Amino acid sequence: MLKLESVTKAYGQLRALKEVSLQVDAGEWLSVMGPSGSGKTTLMNLVGCLDTPTSGKVLLDGYDLGTATGRELTRIRRETVGLIFQRFHLIPHLNAVENIMVAQYYHSLPDEREALAALERVGLAERAKHLPHQLSGGEQQRVCVARALINYPKLVLADEPTGNLDEDNEQRVLDFFGQLHAEGTTLIVVTHDPKVAALGERLIVLDHGRIA
Amino acid sequence: MARKSPAARKLFRHMLLASLLRRRSRALIAALAVTVGATTLTALASISLDLDAQLSRQLRSYGANLVVTAENGRLSAADVPSFAAALNGAEVAGESSYRYEIAQVRQQGLPVVAIDPQTVFSVRPYWSVLGELPEGNQVLVGRDIAEAMQLSPGATMTLTAMDSPADPAPQSPAPSTAAPVPANEARVQVVGTLSTGGAEDGQLVITQALAAELFGDPGAIDLVEFSVVAGTEDLTVIAERTQAAVGGSQAEPVKRLASAEAKVQNTLNSMLAVVSIVVLALTAITVATTMLALVAERQTEIALKKALGATNGDVRREFLTEGLLLGIIGGLVGTLAGVGLAALVSFQVFGRELTISWPLLPASVLGSVLVAVAAGYPPVRRAASVSPAIVLRGE
């Protein structure tokens, strides 16, 4: 599913990732840990088609991201990757179901019924018409999860998905990840929480741009 | 393409309107800038387009702007309707005809102008008459003659017809030095003095009926004056048409007035153009800075949309559509307000209703839209350049 071969990413003189090699198989759940500045976000950017490597190769679902144009990266990201953010990033003036439909809109075709079904799956059917500020943090994160999954991505990238949640909501989101994993979705979860990291099949720890 | 489906269009419209409503104060500022710009420019353009006619009307108080004389010999009163017909729809504020003769008074040859008292003020509103205009056997005496001959209203004198000038100068025919020939005489009474500051101060003014009695040749006239509401260029065309109407006639615009009119008009138009450019620039700057602020505020939202798969083209389309919408709203409101303002100015300054130039209205709305979209383009470029990676940095 994903293969990094001696990937280096430099920002000027600063090398955020140094000669990183990594392989993630389809259906695998990989946890990524590491202190601040260790290169976790850079790794996510590269895998999520938001950036390209300075050297080395990033292969995602057969595509070489290093040689892809900006437009191609957008297309690969749209069709292959689902993103879950620590801060949810819901559009404040759209309600829950519309936030999900936005992902459909940029992918292919907005379908309210399908978006409502996705909300139902994360237990928020009755909150579909609520604006983000009317939802709790846990509910917002579940909308974010539903949005990430609406286009059936092959790879779900989650950046500190439980970082802003209380214990109950954290558990609900993690249970949901368990379901996705059981269904065969590839998961890469960046976390500071060892308990969350332990749920993955494999854990890598980044330190100063290298896999420790 | 999926984006063209009804559901996609509905969501796009909703995203757009919800986004504008959420930032309604900024959207209002941008729309207001376009409105003010459109109001000012529509008002200035309306006034400018109507200025030619307005100015022409105002300058009619300075007298006639088209004079017709005979190339050789004299004109006839019967020619006047032909001249009037040749004006062909142009608004005529005044029209009067004159006959020039020489008469002997107290052994002295004096220029006489025969007028139509009913119409003379319509083309010579600047005539200052102390007393009354002449009727029948009455005479209005030019101020210089009145002083030199100590004539005042009520005085009587005998006018003796002399030979008419061979080549009459319309405004100030020179006294003839030709020997007097036997002519009719008339005892006339002075009814007033005329003061114009011009040639008329040295003339005697009588009616054309009395002139016919004294000098014969009824219906003979030497000069027809028209006060036409028309711009400098139109007036030249009208003059050519009028001249062609009667063979042997010569029609010319009064250059002194025409050039003054053109000068005032050019100055005003230049000033309006400068003000328009300044207003246009201010509108564009306000729209651009407001939209830049909107882009800065929505940076995370843009990054998220790109992270979800929006292309740079999608982002540009959204912001350009917002600019388009603001341009249409501001343009429509501003154009209507501009016409209202122009009408008010026209009424207050020129005392008449504005002649609305209808093609100006869609042009103004279109111009507003173009300015809003063009001014929004740099912010749109900035929006498209937002990196989607910022959503992963927890910003």
Residue in the structure block whose two tokens are 């869609």? B362
d(C-alpha B365, C-alpha B42), whole Å:
9
Q: With an 8 Å Cβ cutoff, are A41 and B392 in contact?
A: yes
CA-based torsion, B296, B298, B299, B302: positive or negative: negative
Q: What b-and-e string marks burial along B153-175, b requiring 16 or more CB atoms within 10 Å of the CB?
A: beeebebbbbebbeebebeebee
**Domain range spanning residue B346?**
2-58+262-393
Is B346 found in the same domain as B278?
Answer: yes
Give which of B207, B193, B199, B200 is closest to B150, Cα–Cα.
Answer: B193
CB contact under 8 A, A109 and B22: no
In this structure, the answer to whether residues B315 and B208 fall within a common structural domain is no
Q: Phi and psi (nearest 5°) for A83?
A: -110, 135
Count how many domains chain B has. 2
Following CA atoms B256, B257, B258, B264 in sequence, which dihedral angle do they give, to the nearest 10 degrees?
Answer: 110
Whether B52 and B69 map to the same domain: the answer is no
List CB contacts (< 8 A) between B8 and chain A.
105, 109-110
What are the beta bridge partners of residue A60? A2, A63
Q: Do B139 and B44 belong together in one domain? A: no
**Rounded Cα gap, residues A18 and B37, in angstroms:** 56
Token digits of residue A143? 């909308």
Label residue B14 exposed, middle or buried (CB < 10 Å: 0-12, 13-18, 19+): middle
Q: Are residues B94 and B240 in the same domain?
A: yes
For chain B, how big is the Rg over CA atoms in Å?
A: 34
Work out the number of other CB atoms within 10 angstroms of the CB of residue A13: 5
What is the C-alpha separation between B123 and B380, in angstroms, rounded?
61
Find the CB nearest A91 among B5, B12, B301.
B301
Residues on A contacting B at a C-beta cutoff of 8 Å: 41, 44-45, 48, 50-51, 70-71, 74-75, 77-79, 83, 85-87, 89, 91-94, 98, 101-103, 105-112, 147, 159-160
What pLDDT is stored for residue B305 in this prediction? 93
**Nearest C-alpha neighbor of B56 from the set B226, B235, B231:** B231
Could you tell me the sign of the dihedral formed by the alpha carbons of B303, B308, B314, B319, in that order? negative
CB contact under 8 A, A50 and B15: no
Last residue within a domain, chosen from B199, B228, B253: B253
Question: Is the CB of A93 less than 8 angstroms away from the CB of B308?
Answer: no
| Burial classification of residue B357, based on how many CB atoms lie within 10 Å of its CB (0-12 exposed, 13-18 middle, 19 or more buried) | middle
User: Amino acid identity of B269?
Assistant: N
Tell whether B2 is within 8 A of chain A (Cβ).
yes
Closest Cα partner for B375 from B320, B331, B330, B333?
B320
Pair B101, B229 in one domain: yes
**What local confidence, expressed as pLDDT, does residue B377 receive?**
87
pLDDT reported for residue A167: 87
Query: Is there a single domain that holds both residue B291 and residue B370?
Result: yes
Number of domains in chain A: 1
Domain that holds residue A43: 2-211
Q: Are residue B172 and residue B72 in the same domain, yes or no?
A: yes
Question: Quick one: B38 and B71 in the same domain?
Answer: no
| Residue type present at position A192 | H
Q: DSSP class of residue B198?
A: S
Q: Give the domain-ending residue among B193, B223, B253.
A: B253
One-character DSSP codes across A70-133 = HHHHHHHHHHHEEEE-TT----TTS-HHHHHHHHHHHHS---HHHHHHHHHHTT-GGGTT--GG
Residue of B nearest to A73 (CA): B309
Shared domain check, B268 and B238? no
**Considering only CB atoms, which chain A residues are within 8 Å of B394?**
86-87, 159-160
Nearest Cα to Cα of residue B298 among B383, B387, B395, B376: B383
A159/chain B closest Cα distance in angstroms:
7
Compute the half-sphere exposure of residue A98: CA atoms within 13 Å on the CB side of its CA: 19
Write out the two tokens for B344: 């008010």
Please tell me which residue of chain B has the smallest CA distance to A149.
Answer: B308
Residue of A nearest to B394 (CA): A87
Q: Do A87 and B308 touch (CB under 8 A)?
A: no
For residues B111 and B217, membership in a common domain is answered with yes
Gyration radius of chain A's alpha carbons = 17
Question: What's the confidence (pLDDT) of residue B166?
Answer: 43
Find the mean pLDDT for residues A14-35. 93
Kindly determine whether residue B304 and residue A48, on different chains, have CB atoms separated by under 8 Å: no
Give the range among A133-137, A192-196, B296-300 with minimum mean pLDDT.
Answer: B296-300
Which of B212, B235, B253 finishes a domain?
A: B253
B317 close contact with A: CB closer than 8 A: no
B310 to chain A, closest Cα gap in Å: 5
Closest by CA to B232, choosing from B255, B209, B199, is B255
For A34-45, b/e burial (b = at least 16 CB within 10 A) is beeebbbbbbbb
End-to-end CA distance of chain B: 33
Cβ within 8 Å of residue B158, ≥6 positions away: B105, B185, B186, B187, B188
Strand order in the sheet with A14-24: A14-24, A2-11, A55-60, A63-64
Residue range A37-80, pLDDT digits in tens: 899 989 999 999 988 899 999 999 989 998 888 889 999 999 99
- CB contact under 8 Å between A93 and B300, yes or no, is no
Q: What is the CATH number of the domain that holds A199?
A: 3.40.50.300
Token pair listed for B249 = 């006639």
How far apart CA B378 and CA B395 sit, in angstroms, is 24
Establish if B393 touches chain A: CB-CB under 8 angstroms: yes
Chain A: closest CA distance from residue B22 (Å): 7
Of the partner residues B7, B19, B310, the one whose CB lies closest to the CB of residue A111: B7
Cβ pair A83:B15 closer than 8 A: no
B13–chain A Cβ distance below 8 A for any pair = no
Same domain for B178 and B77: yes
pLDDT tens across the length of chain B (395 residues): 445 688 899 999 999 899 888 888 888 988 999 999 999 989 988 888 877 667 766 676 677 888 999 988 899 888 888 888 888 777 788 899 999 999 989 888 999 999 999 999 988 888 999 999 999 999 999 999 999 999 989 999 999 988 655 444 444 444 444 444 435 888 999 999 999 888 899 999 999 999 998 988 888 999 999 988 777 777 888 888 888 888 888 888 887 767 777 787 788 888 888 988 898 899 889 888 988 888 888 888 999 999 999 999 999 999 899 889 989 999 999 999 999 999 998 888 877 788 888 888 999 999 999 988 888 889 889 998 888 887 766 54
Which of A86, A94, A110 is facing B7, going by the closest CB pair? A110
pLDDT at A164: 80
